[in-house]
């Protein structure tokens, strides 16, 4: 057995990565700007050098765990469960991994406590708010890290204290589950990943990898052809839709747009979808800037895309955020929408399903419109 394949090395690397993840979540909850400064861009790779270096060191310079067929688990001593052979355990001990497990068993609950305090302060004790995305990410971190903390503490016990076989088997199972649990956690907790997984399955259905219907036909390649719906390319700014697009469909377009939000500072993603008179849908997401004043809202982003493509008349615009209640556009966005008439405005909260429908003139009463400019021009002409 190659020593580089030693289980402790990969275990410690996994735990350090999980601890970095918890620190990242805590800093992000405190202030997204700090998280961006510490982990943004290529800095993430620098942080990941820590578990990689630890993994390599433990692989080459420490005692590996050996699988024990008697207990069905990993042990430092190759003679665990063999009372006839007395050995000096210190010859096989791995103090680095043992002390590291103590560290993990203490630090993980401590980081959970820090996260709970920050969330409590953000939602109750302070004026800030925790977005749905932040809640989902924290939940993912806690679920994945809880298994790591439990296994760390349990492995300390089973290495130095005689324990029942069922306990060892259970911990061995949890050790294996801790490495695969993240996949299922992300699928069930992370809405974006869940949507992408569903899209992937639908793609399989369209391509015939999975059966879509029970109908069997003989197709002559020269007479019939199957045209599959094509996914818009990344450079496309619009998506052609029929004139009969429903309100729910427009909302889904806005939800999809919110996934492209660039909001590292506020952590407040917003998506918008505007429907033109000819049935074309243009998406837009908020794009933040370090100078703050350079930030553009999702509503304006969608309308600018539509205007740049030559459209001037809009039927409706859908806006989605991660708040529990529908969120109205800001003042400048209301003025921006009013520029193109009394557009129907649909505000929606995906987390609760609540929606609010209004018009541009209702959101901005006694508004300043292009008509005032026309009147001003006529007045100046009369003079």
**Known binding residues for substrate:** 286-292
Annotated binding site: 286-292, 297, 330, 333
For strands 73-75 and 66-68, give the pairing: antiparallel
Is 299 catalytic? The answer is yes
How far apart are alpha carbons 17 and 50 in whole angstroms?
A: 8
Annotated binding site for Zn(2+): 297, 330, 333
How far apart are alpha carbons 371 and 195 in whole angstroms?
A: 44
- For residue 368, the tally of other CB atoms under 10 A from its CB is 11
Helical segments of 268-345, H only: 298-308, 331-338
Q: Is 344 helix (H, G, I), strand (E, B) or coil?
A: strand
Catalytic residue among 299, 322, 325, 339: 299
For strands 280-285 and 238-240, give the pairing: antiparallel
Question: What's the CA angle centered on 35, arms 322 and 189, to 5 degrees?
Answer: 40
Q: Give the strands of the sheet with 271-276, arranged side by side.
A: 238-240, 280-285, 271-276, 314-320, 344-348, 355-359
Close Cβ partners of 313 (under 8 Å, ≥ 6 residues apart):
276, 277, 340, 341
**The tokens of 130 are what?**
């925790």
Q: Which residues are catalytic?
A: 299
């Amino acid at each position: 057995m190659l020593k580089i394949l030693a289980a402790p090395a990969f275990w410690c690397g996994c735990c350090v990565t999980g601890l970095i993840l918890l620190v990242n979540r805590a800093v992000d909850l405190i202030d997204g700007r700090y998280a961006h400064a510490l982990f943004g861009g290529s800095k993430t790779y620098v942080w990941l050098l820590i578990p990689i270096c630890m993994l390599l060191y433990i692989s080459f310079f420490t005692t590996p765990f050996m699988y024990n067929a008697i207990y069905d688990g990993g042990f430092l001593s190759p003679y665990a469960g063999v009372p006839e052979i007395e050995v000096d355990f210190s010859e096989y001990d791995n103090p680095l991994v043992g002390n590291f497990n103590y560290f993990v068993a203490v630090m993980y609950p401590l980081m959970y406590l820090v996260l709970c305090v920050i969330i409590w302060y953000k939602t109750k004790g302070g004026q800030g708010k925790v977005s749905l995305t932040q809640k989902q990410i924290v939940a993912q971190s806690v679920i994945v890290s809880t298994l790591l903390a439990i296994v760390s503490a349990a492995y300390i016990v089973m290495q130095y204290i005689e324990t029942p076989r069922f306990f060892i088997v259970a911990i061995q199972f949890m050790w294996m589950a801790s490495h695969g649990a993240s996949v299922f956690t992300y699928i069930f907790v992370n809405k974006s990943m869940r949507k992408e997984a569903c899209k992937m399955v639908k793609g399989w259905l369209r391509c015939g990898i999975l059966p879509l219907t029970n109908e069997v036909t003989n197709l002559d390649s020269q007479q019939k052809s199957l045209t599959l719906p094509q996914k818009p390319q990344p450079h496309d700014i619009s998506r052609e839709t029929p004139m009969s697009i429903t309100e729910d469909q427009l909302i889904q377009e806005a939800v999809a747009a919110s996934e492209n939000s660039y909001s590292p500072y506020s952590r407040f993603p917003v998506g918008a979808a505007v429907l033109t008179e000819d049935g074309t849908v243009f998406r837009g997401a908020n794009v933040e800037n370090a100078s703050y004043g350079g930030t553009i809202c999702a509503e304006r982003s969608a309308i600018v895309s539509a205007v740049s493509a030559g459209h001037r008349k809009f039927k409706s615009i859908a806006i989605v955020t991660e708040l529990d209640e529908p969120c109205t556009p800001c003042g400048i966005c209301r003025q921006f929408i009013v520029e193109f008439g009394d557009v129907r405005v649909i505000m929606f909260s995906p987390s609760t399903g609540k929606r609010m429908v209004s018009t541009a003139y209702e959101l901005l009463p006694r508004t300043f419109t292009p008509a005032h400019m026309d009147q001003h021009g006529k007045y100046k002409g009369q003079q």
